Chain A
Amino acid sequence: GAGVSQSPSNKVTEKGKDVELRCDPISGHTALYWYRQRLGQGLEFLIYFQGNSAPDKSGLPSDRFSAERTGESVSTLTIQRTQQEDSAVYLCASSLPRGKNEQYFGPGTRLTVT
């Protein structure tokens, strides 16, 4: 079946602009995660959704970052007034809701802020 998809695959934006990144999880996966990965570094947790509620937003770096999820499917991560330090790959993952389930990752969106 289809895996996790993300769009766009690449995004170049000017400093100060808003961007919206999209994630389509695997059908039936009610858990969804957003991570950020800077060049040569590990994954930095941003936010976790269970269904369309977000019980853990502890990783969002500032109030410029927000995310929502509708209908236990698509999620969007919005970054307002982008800064150069926001440049990174943003990865989305989904998993089954319970147990010790592995996370299935999308290919990521590479964001470059100029």
Chain B
Amino acid sequence: SQKIEQNSEALNIQEGKTATLTCNYTNYSPAYLQWYRQDPGRGPVFLLLIRENEKEKRKERLKVTFDTTLKQSLFHITASQPADSATYLCAPRFSGGYNKLIFGAGTRLAVHP
């Protein structure tokens, strides 16, 4: 079965720096991969989607990369702010699974002033 691995340890960074979060998957490559943000006590909120034939996708201060050789996606937040503090989940969509996403456990990001 597919496994999604995200760094379980919290990432602590200083305001203004770039945060980089990692998502690794095993076995088959996903057709696409989504990233979500989850705040305590709330449901996840969609941020970005990257397709298997895309190397990079950007949205404002966010950037996602997708390396099918390494079986890895990286999620970057540039010029980070304390308001970016949250848990970030990666969710690949593998072929044949309807629209079912497999969610990683998430990485908690803490941006300190």
- Give A contacts to B, CB under 8 Å: 4, 31, 33, 35, 41-45, 48, 50, 55-56, 91, 93, 95, 97, 100-108
Question: Which residue of the partner chain A has the closest CB to B48?
Answer: A102
Most buried by A among B43, B49, B103: B43
Q: Is the CB of A107 within 8 A of B99?
A: no
Q: Is the CB of A105 within 8 A of B43?
A: yes
Question: Which residue of the partner chain B has the closest CB to A101?
Answer: B99
What is the interface of chain B mostly: helix, strand, loop, or mixed? loop
A41-B105, A56-B98 known; A103+B46 contact, CB < 8 A: yes
- Give B contacts to A, CB under 8 Å: 4, 31-32, 34, 41-46, 49, 51, 89, 93, 97-106
Q: Is the CB of B104 within 8 A of A100?
A: no
A103 to B45, CA, bound (A): 8
- A selection of 13 A-B contacts at a CB cut-off of 8 Å is A41-B105, A42-B89, A43-B89, A45-B100, A45-B103, A48-B99, A48-B100, A56-B98, A91-B43, A95-B99, A100-B51, A101-B99, A107-B43
Chain A to chain B: the 9 pairs with minimum beta-carbon distance, closest first:
A105-B43, A102-B46, A42-B105, A43-B103, A42-B103, A100-B32, A105-B44, A91-B43, A56-B98
Q: Is the CB of B98 within 8 A of A48?
A: yes
Question: Which residue of the partner chain B has the closest CB to A35?
Answer: B103
Most buried by B among A33, A95, A103: A103
Give, as a whole number of angstroms, the nearest-CB distance from A29 to chain B. 11
Give, as a whole number of angstroms, the nearest-CB distance from B20 to chain A. 20
A102-B49, A106-B43, A108-B43 known; A45+B98 contact, CB < 8 A: no
